[in-house]
Chains A and B, each alone.
Chain A
C-alpha cells in the first residue's frame, strides 16, 4: 500500500468501493459521461430495509491498495463496472474475454461485476444477461441508473451475507487471522493454538465485522463491534489493528455526529444522505438487534451515548490510532490518511490548533520515494487542509511549494502552466492582489519580502509558459508595488529584465484575461516617475484671452446675491475638480506643469509622456524626458492643443517607461497637489505678432499693473528729435484679425516731458483690416522727445530772478544795464557750465504700447487679446539754453530775445529761429543768439473764472492757459536745431516758460507779474502737460497763490 488517497474522509469508511473502468478503446469523453451518470448513484436505499448504502466510485484504483481490504473494508474493491465499445458481433467474444481478465485483477475481493456494452446490436444484445447490459449508443442508455441500483442491491446482498456470516460464526470454528500484506511473513510458524493468537484473531475479526456493519448501514452495531475489538486488541498489544479499530470507532462516531460530512467538496451530496444515515441509525437500531439475529455479545445493551464517542474523544482516539500506526513503517499511508481524516474532522470542530498539529505530523510522515506528481498532490492537499483550518499563510506556503514542484528541475517536462496556476492561488495567502490600486493608498499591505519572491516566481513562470504579455504585467506590478522594498541592485535588475521583455511585447493598458477567467488589471507606473504636483498653466500674457467689459456682467456668478461673502462653501472633495479662473484658447498650445521626481538609482527615460483629458477634443503633444538618478523635484511641462471648445478636464497623464505604456489617473495618485484640473476652453482667437523697425532692447520694463511685455524695443534720440516707429502687425494665427485698439502708457516719468510723446493714426492701419492669417499690416507711431531744454533748474532760477528785476522796470534800460554785468559774470564757457550741470546726462523715457485685438469666433464670444510693446527711449541732450534775456528793440512792440545756446552733442549743429539766420554751433560750444520778436498780449486768452470751490477745475484752467501761452510763444519763435549731418528738429514749446515773461506787453505789467509768480512756483512742473503725461501732483496750488 503505497498510494495515499488524500481525499479520504472519515465517512468514506461506510462506503463500498466500486471501480468503473473502460476496456478496449472507449472515447474518454464518452467514458466520463457514463462515469458521471454512474457515480450520481452514490447512495441507495436498500429494498426491504431502511438502511442506506453508500458507494464510492473510482475509475482508477491501484490493486496493491486492494490488498489492504481486510484491514479496512472500505479499501476493498467490491464491485467492478466495465464499460466497453463494441461495434460488431464478431468482436464480442474478445471483449467479453477482456472483461473477465479485468475481473481477475480485483478478483479476490469482488462481490459482483457488470459489463456495459455500447454500440452492439442484434442477436447477442437480445440475450438477457444479468452481468452484461447492452446499449445501442452512449446517448441511448436511459436505464444505466436503474442497472446500477440493481447492481448495488446485489452487492448489498453479498455484503449482508458476509456480515451475518462473520458475525455469527462465533466460537465453534476456528477464526481465521486477518492480516495486512506486510504481516504475512511475520506469522509464519506462530503457534496458532495460543490464547494470545486466538484473541488476536477474534479482535481482528470483530473489527472486520464492525467495518462490514458500518458499510451495511448499521452504525450502532458497528460501534459496538469496534468497542469490543478495541478491548480485545488492546489486551494482545496488536497495535496496528488496534489503531484500525480505534479509527473505525472514530469514523462511526464522526458519521453519527456530523451527518453533513467532513469532506467539504462533496458535502452537498452527502448532506442529504448523511442526515438519512444518522436518522436511519437511530431508527432501526433496536430492530436491527432483533431481526438480524445479531450475536448475543452485541445485544448486550450498551448505551448509545457510551458507544458513540464524544467530539473530544474522537480526536483523542484519532491521536491514539495515529500513534499506533506510527509504529509501523509500512502503514505510512494509513497513518497519513488517518491524519487527513482527523484534520477534516477538526476543521469542522473549528479546532485549528490541534488540526495544525495533526497536519504537522502528516508533513513528517515519510512515505517511500514519492514521484513528482505525488509530491505535488501531497503539497496541494496540505495546502487545502491548511486553508480549511484557516491557516491561509501556511496554505499559501504549501501551495507555493507545490507550484515549485510542478517545475522542479528533475521533471523532464516542467508544467509551467500548472505551476503558474498554483502560484496564482497562493496570492490571497500572501495578502497580495494583482490590482495595483490596492497598493496605491496607505501603508504597504502584507509581507513585502515574501510577496516579492512570489511575484518573481510568477514572472518566471509566465515567461516559461511563453506568455510574454503576462510576464510583463507581473514584472510591472512588481516594480510598481514593491518599489520601496527593492534594493538599488534589484531595481536595476528588474528594470533590465523588464526592458528585455518589453522589447518583444510592450506593456499595455489592457486587461489580460487568463484562460480560467481571471482578469489582470493594467499596471500604470505611477511611481516612475513620481508626480508630486500637477498645475495647469495659464497662456503666456500676450496670448491670454480677456473678456470684453461689456459682457462681464454675464460672467458674474449668480449663485449668491452678494458680491463678496467671507463664507465660502469649502468642500474637500471638490478641490480637485474646482475650476480655474483662466481660460485656454482653442487651437493654441496649452501647458500643464508637473513636478516629478525619479526614485530610481539610475537615469530614467520617460517617453511619450502626454496628457489624458476629457471634455474637449485635445491633441496631446507627447514629450520625452530623461530624469537623472534620484532627482529632486523636476519640472516637466506637458503640452497640447484643444481642438474644440468647452470644459476640459485633465484626468492624468500617460507615459511609456521601460517599454510599458501607462495611463496614470490623478484620482489614483496619492499625495498629488493640484490647483484644479478643469479649465474652460474658449473659441479660437487670432494671434498677433509684432515686429518693429527698431532694435530689440535688453531693457525689460516692469510695469506696475502686472502685464507682461512681449517685446521691448529701444531707441536713442536727441532731445527734441522725432522718429517714426514702424510696427509690422502680422497675424500668425488661423483666425482673421478684425479689431485692433491701441493705447499707450508712459512709465517711469521722472522727466518733464513736453508735447505728445507718442502719436499715431490708427485709421491707416484699420483700413487694412480684417487681417487674414499670415497677412501683415503696418502701423506707424511717431516718437517725439521733448524734454527740458534749460540746462538746469537752478540756472533757470537765476534767470528768473534776473527777470524779475527787469520786469520791475520795464523799458527802462538803465537799471537793466546795471544788473546785466552781474549776469554776465556768470560762467558761460562750456567747461565750467558742464561742471555746474551735467549736460551729458542721458535721460530715459519708457512707454508701453498696448494692442488689444480680436477676431474670429473668439471675438463673437466677446474675448480679446492684449499684446504689449515696451518702448525704451534714451534721450541724449542736444542743445541747452543756458540763459534767456531780452533787450528792447527799436519798436516798443518788439524786443530782442537773447538766448545763450549750448551744444552738448558731439556734432556740429545749427540753430535757427523765425526771421533769423542759422547759428552754427560746434560741439561743446556756447553762443548767444538774438531773436527779434513781437511782444504780445495775453489778454486775448480767457482768464480763469476765479471759482474757489472748483479747485481742480481752476487748476485745469490754469494749465490750459499755460499751454495756450506756450503754443503762442512757440509759434512766434519757431526755434529749431539740426545736426548738419542729420535731420532737422524743432525746439518747440520749450522755451516758453523762459521767454514768456520777456515778451509781454508793458501795460499788462500787473497781470504779467501774477503770471510770473505762478511761473516761479510752477517752474519745477512741466509747463505743458500733455495727454501722454498725466500730471500726478501739484506741489503748490495756484489757488493758494491767488489768495
Chain B
C-alpha cells in the first residue's frame, strides 16, 4: 500500500490538483507537499545557472521523511509535480517514478490543449482523474 499525493503547481505555487490515497489525513500531505516546494524552488534556482533548455525535468528525491519519500518534477513552464510515496514501497525505483512523472506530464499537456481550460485554474478533468487513479492503483 502506498500513499501517494500529487500536485501540479504553477509559479504562484498554489495547488492545481491534489489527490491522495487514502483520503483521511489529507492535510498532512498538504503540508508535506507545501514544504517540499522549498526544495523544488532551491533545485530550480540552482539549475537556473545551467542551460535552461537542456534541463532535466525530473528533480529526483526531494527529501525523505520517516514514512514517505517525496519526488519532484518541473516542466519547462515551471509547473511542478510532486509525488509522495510510502518509503516502505521498494517496488518504486527511480525509473518507475520517472516514468510516472512523464505520464503525468503528458496528461497535463493534454489538459493544456483543451481550449476551455484556463491555465492557472484548478484541474477538473475526468481524463486526468482517471489517469491519476490508474497510476495509484498500479502502485498500491
A residues sitting closer than 8 Å to B (CB atoms) are 352-353, 356, 360, 386, 390-394, 397, 430-431, 443-450, 453
Contacts and interface: CB of A to CB of B under 8 A. Distances in A.
Contacts of B41: 390
Nearest to B36: A393
A360 B13 contact: no
Interface stretch (B27-35, B106-114, B132-140): B27-35
Interface residues on B, range: 20 to 34
A397 B31 contact: yes
Contacts of A393: 34-35, 37-38
A841 to B, nearest CB: 63
Given A444-B14, A445-B14, A449-B27, A391 B120 contact: no
B14 A443 contact: yes
Contacts of A353: 39, 42-43, 46
Nearest to B121: A443
B117 interface: no
B13 A391 contact: no
Contact of B63 (A360, A444, A446, A448): A360
A394 B62 CA distance: 13
A397 B65 CA distance: 14
A453 B27 contact: yes
Those 10 A-B pairs whose CB atoms lie nearest each other, nearest first: A391-B38, A449-B30, A394-B35, A393-B35, A352-B42, A393-B38, A447-B34, A394-B38, A397-B35, A450-B34
Nearest to A398: B35
Given A353-B39, A393-B35, 4 more contacts: A353-B46, A446-B12, A449-B15, A453-B27
A449 B18 CA distance: 11
B81 to A, nearest CB: 15
Contacts of B42: 352-353, 356, 390-391
Interface of B: 12-15, 18, 26-27, 30-31, 34-35, 37-39, 41-43, 46, 63, 120-121
Contacts of B37: 393
Nearest to A391: B38
Interface centre among A352, A386, A430, A431 (most CB of B within 10 A): A352
Contacts of A386: 38
A1035 B7 CA distance: 83
Contacts of B27: 449-450, 453
A362 to B, nearest CB: 13
16 contacts: A353-B39, A356-B42, A356-B63, A360-B63, A386-B38, A391-B38, A391-B42, A393-B35, A393-B38, A394-B38, A443-B121, A444-B14, A447-B15, A448-B14, A449-B18, A449-B26
B30 A392 contact: no
Nearest to A447: B34
Interface centre among B12, B35, B46 (most CB of A within 10 A): B35
Contact of A392 (B31, B38, B121): B38
Nearest to B65: A360
Nearest to B26: A449
B85 to A, nearest CB: 18
B39 A390 contact: no
B39 A431 contact: no
A561 B24 CA distance: 73
A430 B31 CA distance: 10
A386 B41 CA distance: 14
B115 to A, nearest CB: 19
Contacts of A356: 38-39, 42, 63
Nearest to B42: A352
B35 A447 contact: no
B119 to A, nearest CB: 10
Contacts of B120: 443
A447 B14 CA distance: 5
B13 A447 contact: yes
A584 B14 CA distance: 47
B100 to A, nearest CB: 23
A818 B55 CA distance: 121
A444 B16 CA distance: 11
Contacts of B38: 356, 386, 390-394
A728 B14 CA distance: 70
Most chain B Cβ neighbours within 10 Å, of A352, A393, A394, A445: A393
Nearest to B18: A449
Nearest to A397: B35
Contacts of B12: 443, 445-446
Contacts of A397: 31, 34-35
A784 B67 CA distance: 100
Nearest to B66: A364
B41 to A, nearest CB: 8
B79 to A, nearest CB: 14
A859 to B, nearest CB: 57
Contacts of A360: 63
Nearest to A484: B122
Contacts of A352: 42
A346 to B, nearest CB: 12
A285 to B, nearest CB: 37
A353 B41 CA distance: 10
A390 B15 CA distance: 21
A386 B37 CA distance: 13
A443 B15 CA distance: 11
A443 B121 CA distance: 8
Contacts of A443: 12, 14, 120-121
Nearest to A386: B38
Contacts of A453: 27
Centre residue among A390, A430, A447 by max chain B CB count within 10 A: A447
A431 B34 contact: no
B126 to A, nearest CB: 21
A426 to B, nearest CB: 12
A447 B9 CA distance: 10
B13 A431 contact: yes
Nearest to A353: B42
